[in-house]
Structure 1
């Protein structure tokens, strides 16, 4: 299993990403990347989330990017 963790103190959030499904893990704080961006990351910005932040989060934590690379 590959994994990564990103945290930003100024945003008050931490994101853990896994390339494999965690079948025995269930938590109400588990979000797909788009939901995490829209509901959590967005709280840290007065207006729109900078595109650079969205792009980097999706690049490193989205299963869609992993699927594209493994094609």
Structure 2
């Protein structure tokens, strides 16, 4: 998710975390919040919480993305 879309200033209420593994497995976690996500720091905090809920991860991670 971009902080704003650059045109209308829209922001989202859902954060999604996608984890791709070296063996090409994929998991994703998402969560909606009551109000629009107002900053990159807030987005990062939410993504870290989602990652914490997916632990322990015993495979090698090749890509980690948030949106």
TM-score (norm 2): 0.31
Q: Which has the higher strand share?
A: 2
TM-score (norm 1): 0.30
Q: Which has the higher helix share?
A: 1
Which structure has the higher relative contact order (CA within 8 Å, separation 6+)? 2
